[in-house]
Amino acid sequence: MWQVSHWFRTALDAVLPPLCLCCGAQVAEPGALCGRCWGSLRFVSAPFCQACGHPFDVDPGGAECLCGRCMAEPPAWRRARAVFCYDDASKPLLLRFKHGDRLEGAPAFGRWMARAGAELLVESDLIVPVPLHRWRLLARRYNQAALLALAVGREAGRPVAADGLRRLRRTPPQGHFSREERRKNVKGAFAVKPGLDVTGQKIVLIDDVLTTGATLGECARLLLKNGAATVDVLILGRVVLSQP
């Protein structure tokens, strides 16, 4: 059986050689990055803010340090963890996955996220992705956050409610919105799926990118309002912001 699978894989690679998920260069295996793209990614590692996962340039000392933004205004969730910084190097990787139908990267992303969020997942009862509005889902044909959630769930052995949250209205893109405009844009935009009981559940909320945290914060507040015990956040990319 292994020989048949290996032969088929070899034949397929000869016709359709696997390409780097980020730049499109040929690589050895599907769902991989070339050495150049891998080396350009800035992976998030300690020290970082325990609440939002924002990396520190200098180690502030102590295991439970918070960034200035989280000290001034604590996020709705408990902890957030990210795989890498969302910057010029990682942007093509995420855009290809999010808008370019490069879905073969989902298993690798799931492994990376499960590793980055191991301390969150080991305590979790349920994984829930940030939802897309039905019209945007129809246009894109898939919810990238749901694909990541399913991949993380497989890696961590945790249940996933892929449609646990619903987006009630189609909010405009937030790329050029200020922090406060983003909050207003998503306020009241989500609902828990009818019949899903999150009472007492420790939930890990999944999305592809964290910028200001407006969307994730609104989803976290909704889950807590509906009885969730805790909400943690796990994302693939984390925008690095200037601290106040």
Nearest to 125 by CA among 193, 225, 217, 196: 196
Domain of 79? 43-239
35 shares its domain with 48? no
CATH code of the domain in which 234 resides: 3.40.50.2020
165 shares its domain with 107? yes
Residue 94 domain-assigned? Answer: yes
Domain count, the chain: 2
pLDDT cut 90: percent of the chain above it: 60
Tokens 């015990």 correspond to 229
Nearest to 161 by CA among 129, 190, 197: 129
192 shares its domain with 74? yes
Nearest to 115 by CA among 25, 184, 63, 45: 45
Output the average pLDDT for the chain.
87
Q: Which two tokens stand for residue 132?
A: 């897309």
13 shares its domain with 82? no
Measured between alpha carbons, how far is 22 from 208 in angstroms, rounded to an integer? Answer: 15
Say whether 211 sits in a helix, a strand or coil: coil
What pTM was computed for the model?
0.88
68 shares its domain with 24? no
List per-residue pLDDT tens for the chain, 244 residues long: 434 344 434 444 444 688 898 888 999 888 889 999 999 999 999 899 999 999 998 887 766 789 989 999 999 999 999 999 999 999 999 998 888 778 889 999 999 999 999 999 999 999 999 998 887 777 788 899 999 999 999 999 999 999 999 998 877 666 666 677 777 778 888 999 999 999 999 999 999 999 889 999 999 999 999 999 999 999 999 998 765 4
Are the C-beta atoms of residues 128 and 164 closer than 8 Å to each other? yes
- Confidence at residue 7, expressed as pLDDT on a 0 to 100 scale: 42
Residue 60 domain-assigned? Answer: yes
pLDDT tens digits, 83-115: 999 999 999 999 988 887 788 899 999 999 999
- Confidence at residue 124, expressed as pLDDT on a 0 to 100 scale: 98
Are the C-beta atoms of residues 194 and 158 closer than 8 Å to each other? no
5 shares its domain with 30? yes
